Amino acid sequence: QVQLVESGGGSVQSGGSLRLSCAASGVTISAYCMGWFRQAPGKEREGVALISSDSSITKYLESVKGRFTISRDNAKNTLYLQMNSLKPEDTAWYYCAAKPGVCRVHEFPTNFDYTNWGQGTQITVST
C-alpha cells in the first residue's frame, strides 16, 4: 500500500544540477522522518540527506554539504533533493526512504532501518 516513487534522475555533466522528487502514496509523510540514500557499484550504501517531519532538522553527508538541499512539502506528500554542482563521484542509484517518528540523526549516515523505500533512480554525472 505504501509506495515511494522517485523521479528526476538521469544524466548530467559535471557541474550541472538535478532535482529529485519522491512522491508518496498510501501514507501521509507529515509524521515521517525521510531521507535520501545512494549506492554506487562496488561501494557501500550511504545516507545522503535526511529531514525531520517538520523540516526543523536536516542532515547531510559531508561530501554533499553546500551542494545538495533536502526539502519536503507535506501538503503535496513529496520529498525533494536539489543537487547542484554535481560531481562524477555523485554517480549512483538514489533512493528515497521513510519511517515514522523521529529521525536518528546521531546514526546518520550509516543507519538504514527505514520501513519504506522507493525503487531508486539513477544519477550519472559525466566529466
Tens-digit pLDDT profile for residues 66-116? 999 999 999 999 999 999 999 999 999 999 999 998 998 888 888 889 999
**pLDDT over threshold 90, residue 1:** no
Q: CA-CA distance, 12 to 121, in Å (whole number)?
A: 13
Give the residue-averaged pLDDT of 29-53: 96
**pLDDT over threshold 90, residue 23:** yes
Residue 31 grid cell: 509524521
Question: What is the model's pLDDT at position 110?
Answer: 86
Question: What is the model's pLDDT at position 2?
Answer: 85
DSSP percent split of the chain into helix, strand, coil, nearest 5: 10, 50, 40
In sequence order, the 6+-apart residues with CB closer than 8 A to the CB of 54 are none
In sequence order, the 6+-apart residues with CB closer than 8 A to the CB of 126 are 11, 12, 13, 14, 88
Secondary element (H or E) of residue 81? strand 78-83
In the chain, what percentage of residues exceed pLDDT 70? Answer: 100
Question: What is the model's pLDDT at position 106?
Answer: 87
Secondary element (H or E) of residue 73? strand 68-73
Q: CA-CA distance, 17 to 110, in Å (whole number)?
A: 25
Question: What is the model's pLDDT at position 85?
Answer: 98
Q: How many CB atoms lie within 10 A of CB 41?
A: 7
Q: Where are the alpha helices (DSSP H) in 4-122?
A: none
